[in-house]
């Protein structure tokens, strides 16, 4: 069976969309006879749409999202149509391409996956707030049209399946929930994980790991408050920050900036931080799939998150970590961490369950096999 893999970016680029397209591509290749990339998708027309959008945004004071231009969607569909006619795949699999496939005209079965729906993005992310009415209408129209066109939707979260059902009236029987995996390159086996956990538990200092590009939106200030309360409670603690560089000096804060996982030395430093940390903490205000939570689980690292978006599906409260409401007081979170850390048997069990959650559900090998089952059913 020949798969036509549709992405906006080049799926051979391991940096594209944080590596998700690449990871999917590898998983599909392991489970199907042939997978041909039909991306990247690009057209000069988008620059005209961008210029128009900037002009309209300036006039209105609202955000124009050029990605949801109807005219651009038609242009991309036409480009895609030619690629499909040239390659003649048996099925089409599209990743994060709802606008691009909405106007596609083909009888070839189309399967779609996405890490978010537009209504969920609009609900949570500041990048999708204050939109022009045109962008809002177009986004809803294009995504619904794409979802209706697809033979099946394969989404990583029940939270997104619910959105497809509630916001677009997609039949539940048409949707499969298959979690994504971590965008990393090598993983520990069960024996190594147990050794890592045992080694962590010898540490006098409790290391909390925070990874996020947006210090404020990802809950950095609260994570630092939690760290401060832990120290007040007698637990010597340190917050290690990756992905951003907040201009803060604090005795319990260590800012490490950005590490590029595609540079061997920096990747080694990243994995070392996962291995030597005791909790992953991200009190985020907005999150869809929560890839960092999945990556933490692959190291048997319990996570502290919030009850937003897909976090409660990545972090099983009380089992693989803890999730809190957005308004939870930092002291309450610190007290919960302190209790879990001081009960070494409970901490070890939680770490093992985090790893099992990754092994049993949140990995690309599982994703590829499940996608194959769906396609062949």
Q: What is the pLDDT of residue 262?
A: 86
Q: What is the pLDDT of residue 129?
A: 87
Fold equal for 2-181+363-376 and 190-360: yes
Q: What is the pLDDT of residue 186?
A: 81
Please write the tens of the pLDDT for every residue from 327-370. 999 999 999 999 999 999 999 999 999 999 999 999 999 999 99
Q: What is the pLDDT of residue 99?
A: 97
Q: What's the gap between Cα 339 and its chain centre?
A: 29
- Say if domain 190-360 classifies as CATH 3.40.50.2000: yes
Domain boundaries, the chain: 2-181+363-376, 190-360
Q: What is the pLDDT of residue 187?
A: 85
Average pLDDT, the chain: 95
CATH of domain 2-181+363-376: 3.40.50.2000
Q: What is the pLDDT of residue 42?
A: 86
Low-confidence ranges of the chain (pLDDT < 50): none
């Amino acid at each position: 069976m020949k798969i036509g893999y549709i992405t906006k970016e080049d799926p051979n680029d391991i940096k594209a969309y944080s590596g998700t397209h690449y990871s999917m591509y590898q998983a599909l290749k392991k489970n199907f006879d042939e997978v041909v990339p039909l991306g990247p998708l690009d057209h000069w027309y988008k620059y005209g749409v961008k210029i128009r959008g900037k002009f309209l945004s300036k006039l209105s004071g609202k955000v124009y999202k050029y990605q949801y231009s109807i005219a651009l969607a038609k242009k991309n569909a036409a480009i895609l149509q030619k690629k499909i006619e040239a390659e003649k795949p048996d099925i089409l699999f599209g990743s994060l391409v709802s606008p691009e496939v909405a106007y596609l005209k083909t009888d070839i079965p189309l399967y779609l996956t996405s890490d978010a729906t537009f209504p969920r993005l609009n609900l949570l992310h500041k990048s999708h707030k204050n939109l022009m009415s045109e962008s809002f209408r177009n986004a809803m129209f294009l995504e619904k049209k794409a979802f209706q066109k697809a033979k099946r939707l394969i989404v990583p979260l029940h939270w997104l399946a619910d959105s497809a059902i509630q916001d677009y009236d997609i039949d539940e029987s048409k949707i499969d929930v298959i979690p994504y995996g971590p965008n990393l390159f090598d993983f520990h086996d069960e024996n190594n994980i147990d050794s890592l956990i045992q080694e962590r538990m010898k540490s006098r200092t409790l290391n909390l790991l925070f990874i996020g590009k947006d210090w404020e939106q990802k809950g950095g200030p609260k994570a630092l408050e939690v760290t401060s309360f832990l120290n007040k409670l007698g637990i010597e603690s340190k917050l290690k920050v990756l992905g951003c560089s907040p201009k803060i000096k604090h005795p319990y804060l260590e800012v490490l900036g950005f590490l590029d996982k595609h540079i061997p030395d920096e990747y080694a430093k990243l994995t070392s931080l996962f291995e030597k940390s005791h909790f992953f903490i991200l009190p985020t205000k907005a999150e869809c799939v929560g890839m960092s939570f999945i990556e933490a689980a692959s190291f048997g690292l319990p996570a502290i998150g919030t009850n937003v978006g897909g976090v409660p599906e990545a972090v099983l409260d009380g089992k693989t970590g803890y999730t809190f409401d957005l308004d939870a007081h930092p002291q309450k979170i610190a007290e919960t961490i302190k209790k879990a850390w001081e009960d070494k048997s409970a901490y070890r069990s939680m770490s093992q369950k985090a790893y099992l959650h990754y092994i049993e559900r949140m990995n690309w090998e599982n994703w590829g096999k499940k996608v194959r089952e769906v396609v062949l059913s």
